[in-house]
Amino acid sequence: MGQAELRELQLKRLKKSVKTVYENVPFYRQKFKEAGVIPEDIKTLEDVRKLPYTRKSDLRDNYPFGLFAANTEDIVRIHASSGTSGKPTVVGYTAGDINTWSDLIARNLTMIGLGKGDVFQNSVNYGLFTGGLGFHYGAEKIGAMTVPAGTGNTPRQLEMMIDFGVTAIHCTPSYALYLAETAEELDLVDKLALKVACFGAEPWSENTRKQLEKRLGIKAYDSYGLSEMFGPGIAFECPEQDGLHIWSDNFLVEVLDPKTGEPVAEGEKGELVLTSLSKEGFINIRYRTGDITRLLESECACGRTMPRISRLLGRADDMLIVRGINVFPSQIQNVISKIPQISDHFQLVLDRNKHLLDELTVEVELEEKAFTGELQDLKAVQEYVQRELKAVLNIRTNVELLEKGSIPRTGGKAKRIIDRRERL
């Protein structure tokens, strides 16, 4: 699609999205009123800057269905991701949304040469996490034989890959490293029929790409998505592997200075801000993703006219990604503050284990009178803290209990995070 035609389509869809949320979502109607804007004020794409931002905190504040733009009887599925308060952020999908999302994934898979005749193993979590079902529906749409493998039981995953003749896999890059290591240990690499891998949900580098492509004999592609907009499929690499094409017929893209909110120049890093152009059930207006990237507007050598973004360069907030799960230090602080046996002084230590998977250790100080009530010893306190953290974070953490005063104090901002992971 040419740029003029694309901009015309974007403006038509932007007007519709703005009108829909204004009429159906009290939160947006109030936000628009405070900003002094009505749907009729949107006459050009640049007018999107008149509209207020949406943030993750707005999703939590309107939990569970307060931001839905469609009637609940028209919502056929919900997905959710964790928020800093322990309440998930919930998004809703109409039947039309599911079809659009499937199309987006199908575009991505077609772009990298997959189709009918391929066997696609989906080795990510299903359930409320968007990665599983998102890729599953898209893989089926291109006619691939789809294997809903889920996660875990790595030898069994490799057995299925060999027995079923799997040609493509979707998983996190850290799990792919573990798969490669296990395949090498079991001398199974030469038995694999893999040609393509799709990776997402956590940061990874060119070094990891080269390592995995060499070890597994594949071509590895980066995927970008977030549940607040659909899930995976928002942007994806083409075979040029020079930035991710972002499907701007479905998302209006801005890259802004995180502090000033002003657009940054092409090639400069800034925060990715997205507006839904084709969603029905849950429409996000100027959503502050918190992801730092660069906008690459020059035409790609593959010939596609959709703009590209660079691979993610970091976060504008303090969010960590551990095994594909979003973790905020504020989540951990909220749990710790409610446990009288430990103090509010803590540090988060990130390591990578022998299987090349992320490990999160929470170091926290014991109070002087820690062993009271049912928690009479060190192990009991440790296990209790671990259970409380897992209930909120949805991942298992290691907990190390320290004597009071062990964690360094500073006159300024406390150093909460120690990341000892080798850069992927």
Reduced to 3 states, what is the DSSP secondary structure of residue 332? helix
- What percent of the chain is predicted at pLDDT more than 70? 96
* 193-223 confidence digits (pLDDT tens): 999 999 988 777 787 889 899 999 999 999 9
Q: Is the pLDDT of residue 413 over 50?
A: no
Band (84; pLDDT cuts 50, 70, 90): very low
Contacts of 8 (CB under 8 A, 6+ apart): none
Q: Which of 200, 202, 311 is nearest to 246 (CA)?
A: 311
Strand partners, 237: 244
Q: Delineate the domains of the chain, giving CATH numbers in brackets.
A: 325-419 (3.30.300.30)
For residues 149 and 242, what is the distance between their CA atoms, to the nearest angstrom?
30
Average pLDDT on 373-392 reads: 86
For residues 122 and 169, what is the distance between their CA atoms, to the nearest angstrom?
6
Band (414; pLDDT cuts 50, 70, 90): low
Q: Is the pLDDT of residue 261 over 50?
A: yes
| Cα distances (angstroms) measured from residue 278 to each of 49, 100, 228, 248 | 19, 8, 13, 10
Band (417; pLDDT cuts 50, 70, 90): confident
Q: Is the pLDDT of residue 377 over 60?
A: yes
| Cα Rg, the chain, nearest whole Å | 23
Lowest mean pLDDT among 80-94, 180-194, 230-244: 80-94
Q: What integer pLDDT is reported at residue 286 of this predicted model? A: 98
For residues 17 and 277, what is the distance between their CA atoms, to the nearest angstrom?
6
Reduced to 3 states, what is the DSSP secondary structure of residue 424? coil
Q: Is the pLDDT of residue 369 over 60?
A: yes
Band (395; pLDDT cuts 50, 70, 90): confident
DSSP letters of 227-260? TTTTEEEEEEE-TT-SSEEE-TTTEEEEEE-TTT
- What percent of the chain is predicted at pLDDT more than 90? 67
Q: What integer pLDDT is reported at residue 331 of this predicted model? A: 78
Contacts of 371 (CB under 8 A, 6+ apart): 341, 377, 378, 380, 381
Q: What integer pLDDT is reported at residue 85 of this predicted model? A: 45
Could you tell me the two tokens for 422? 């080798």
Average pLDDT on 1-27 reads: 97
Average pLDDT on 380-391 reads: 90
User: Which segment, 117-121, 204-208, 374-378, is predicted with the most confidence on average?
Assistant: 117-121
Query: What count of Cα atoms within 13 Å lies in the side-chain half-sphere of residue 372?
Result: 9
Q: What integer pLDDT is reported at residue 409 of this predicted model? A: 60
- By CB atoms closer than 10 A (0-12, 13-18, 19+), residue 354 is exposed
Lowest mean pLDDT among 228-237, 316-325, 362-371: 316-325
The 3-class secondary structure across 138-206, one letter per residue, is HHHHCCCEEECCCCCCHHHHHHHHHHHCCCEEEECHHHHHHHHHHHHHCCCHHHCCCCEEEECCCCCCH
Query: Which residue would you say has higher pLDDT here, 275 or 345?
Result: 275
Tell me if 146 sits within 8 A of 117, measured CB to CB.
Answer: no
